[in-house]
Amino acid sequence: MKRVLIVGAGPAGAALAHILASRGVPVHLLERQRDFSREFRGEGFQPSGQDVLRQMGLGARFDALPSVRMEGISIWRGARRLVRVEVPEEARDDVVRIVSQPALLEMLVEEAGRFPHFRLERGVAVRDVVREGGRVVGVRVEREGYGEELRADFVIGTDGRNSVLRRKADLHEERTPQSFDMLWCKVPVPTFWRPGEAEINVRVGGVCLAFPSYDGMLQLGWSMRKGSFKQLRGKGVEAWMEELSRAVRPELGAHVLAHRDRVSHPFLLDVICDRLVRWTAPGLLLIGDAAHPMSPVGGQGVNVALRDALVAANHLLPVLAADGSPEALDAAAARVQAERLPEVSDIQAIQTRQARFLVGTGLLPRLMLEALPLLGKLGLMRTWAVRGDRRFRGVLRPLRLAV
């Protein structure tokens, strides 16, 4: 059986490590953080991501994690609600869930830890790849200030959007320029909030999302022109909270201001959306955000990362288990990219199109925004709100864990 090194215990790395270890592959998983809550990542689980965990046999454990089900969504412009869409009773098992990421990752590594060939090391940062004869044969790590080389038969990079492995292996990306950043923060859930309800507040050139999180707080996601937060931050928390309160409907804005001293987890997401031309080098495969950082539009990143992990397991496991040659491993890795690229490209294309409308400032987005109240009156916003989600579902390829 070949040995695998996985760099990064986010959703992609932890899920892949679990599947491989559960099938007897010796897996060494490296994570730079000691505590999963130190890394801020998405909490929105689409049915597509939930399905991967169920196929891994972890459905019951997933259901037991701290989470909130999203059962309705409203679109607001200023004080006016343009539309409200509710998930019908019979479809409530198939909704987006907001799930604690630290709890999810702890669950995945705990489950993986039941298998004798799994080893997780926290607090170990990978600094470089180790090459021999043009092939990646391991990684150079920093552990408690000391450098060390770790070797394996195959290396998998799941080290996220600022991947070190991507850079050190000289893998190049195709970038779709993004015009916006997102400021994420949490405030207490208002008493007037309908449980399980998400909101999109639209304005010229941006949106502000609001949805209850698993921790009893209301998550806000405020889009703004790329790079503009630097100036705003310079004016202090008071100033940006004022600005944020104007980006949501008045009742919510007043709540935000009343709780400005309780705002938590502020995090500026520099939005990027790109894809590596090649996800592989000899001896190395990148998946998840390391191969294709996703835009936040539609909350797809965690789900796509989990789906990558499942496909990577399907292709790599038979070769690892059969003690396949380095060339056979590289060929299996290339098949992972071939299978995943069409879905990832389609999702990123939808995200880019939707972002043009949601955060664009051109004539067309402005006209659309002006037309929203009329579309709402005619009942057409309902179709639009639902179609946005259906578009993402429509490009998903069938996926089965086959190993």
Ligand X SMILES: Cc1cc2nc3c(=O)[nH]c(=O)nc-3n(C[C@H](O)[C@H](O)[C@H](O)COP(=O)(O)OP(=O)(O)OC[C@H]3O[C@@H](n4cnc5c(N)ncnc54)[C@H](O)[C@@H]3O)c2cc1C
DSSP secondary structure, 342-403, as one string:
HHHHHHHHHHHHHHHHHH--SHHHHHHHHHHHHHHHTTHHHHHHHHHHHHHHHTPPP-----
Cα–Cα distance measured from residue 210 to residue 129, given in angstroms and rounded to the nearest whole number:
41
Residues that bind ligand X (CB under 6 A): 7-13, 30-33, 39-44, 125-126, 158-161, 164, 184, 267, 269, 288-290, 294, 296, 299-303, 305
Cβ proximity to ligand X: between 156 and 372 the closer is: 156
CB of 203 to ligand X, least distance (A): 20
Closest by CA to 385, choosing from 252, 194, 200, is 200
CB of 401 to ligand X, least distance (A): 17
The answer for residues whose C-beta is within 8 angstroms of residue 171's C-beta and 6 or more apart is 276, 277, 278, 279, 281, 286
The residue assigned the tokens 């990684």 is 139
The answer for residues whose C-beta is within 8 angstroms of residue 96's C-beta and 6 or more apart is 44, 45, 46, 47, 69, 70, 299
CB of 271 to ligand X, least distance (A): 9
Cβ proximity to ligand X: between 182 and 372 the closer is: 182
Cβ proximity to ligand X: between 298 and 360 the closer is: 298
Per DSSP, the three-state class of 232 is helix
Cα–Cα distance measured from residue 332 to residue 344, given in angstroms and rounded to the nearest whole number:
18
CB of 397 to ligand X, least distance (A): 17
Closest by CA to 387, choosing from 343, 344, 357, is 357
Cβ proximity to ligand X: between 70 and 189 the closer is: 70
Cβ proximity to ligand X: between 158 and 348 the closer is: 158
Cα–Cα distance measured from residue 219 to residue 198, given in angstroms and rounded to the nearest whole number:
10
The residue assigned the tokens 């639902």 is 386
CB of 87 to ligand X, least distance (A): 17
The answer for residues whose C-beta is within 8 angstroms of residue 333's C-beta and 6 or more apart is 154, 279, 280, 284, 285, 312, 315, 316
CB of 161 to ligand X, least distance (A): 6
9: Cα separation from own chain's centroid: 13
CB of 182 to ligand X, least distance (A): 7
CB of 15 to ligand X, least distance (A): 8
Cβ proximity to ligand X: between 155 and 319 the closer is: 155
Supply the angle between the helices 363-377 and 380-394 in degrees, to the nearest 10. 120
